[in-house]
Structure 1
């Protein structure tokens, strides 16, 4: 079962990389024509959501300790990210504060995952 959990952790990291990578590639466009939410950001956020839910389920089924407060906060941040990206995905230009918020929430989610033990 540990192999399955590790596979989903890897997929979760790929989702994070897709979301953050999409954000970073659009940062330069913020000063020029305007940044937009690319499909990789939406797909990354959805991958994070699905794999995160699966990871919690797999860990609980193995009687591993799961910090429900941490998971709840990470889920709340991800839902906000996903909602913003989904609603604004077809717009050609995204306001700088809104685009920056998605990046900040993504980085915050990463630091919560890494630093909160």
Structure 2
């Protein structure tokens, strides 16, 4: 079971990397107002959602305690990220505050995952 959990953790990190990497790639365009949501950002957010749900299920199936409040907050933040990326995915230019919000919420989700014990 540990190998399966570690596999999903790795996939979850890949999703985070795709989402945050897409945001960081757009920072130069963000300053000029030409930033857009990249397809990899949407795929990364979906990967985070699917693997996160699988991780919760695997941890519960393994008999581990799951902090439901932490998972709920992370899920809420991810749903907002996913909503913003999905709605703005076809626009040629995304407003800087929207793109900044996606980046900020992604970093917030990382901090919640690592610092909330």
TM tier, smaller: over 0.9
Q: 1:115 maps to which residue?
A: 115
Aligned length: 117
Aligned to 2:29: 29
Instruction: Kindly provide the CA deviation profile for residues 63-94 of structure 1, in whole angstroms up to 9, marking residues without a partner as x.
Output: 10100000000000000000000011000111
2:4 equivalent in structure 1:
4
**Structure 1 gaps, min length 5:** none
Distance (whole Å) between structure 2 residues aligned to residue 33 and residue 74 of structure 1: 29
SS in 1 for 2:34: coil
Cα distance in 2 between the residues matched to 1:4 and 1:69: 24
**Which blocks of at least 5 consecutive residues in structure 2 are unaligned?**
none
Q: CA deviation at 1:32?
A: 2.4
> Normalization by structure 1: what TM-score?
0.98
CA distance in 2, matches of 1:98, 1:73: 20
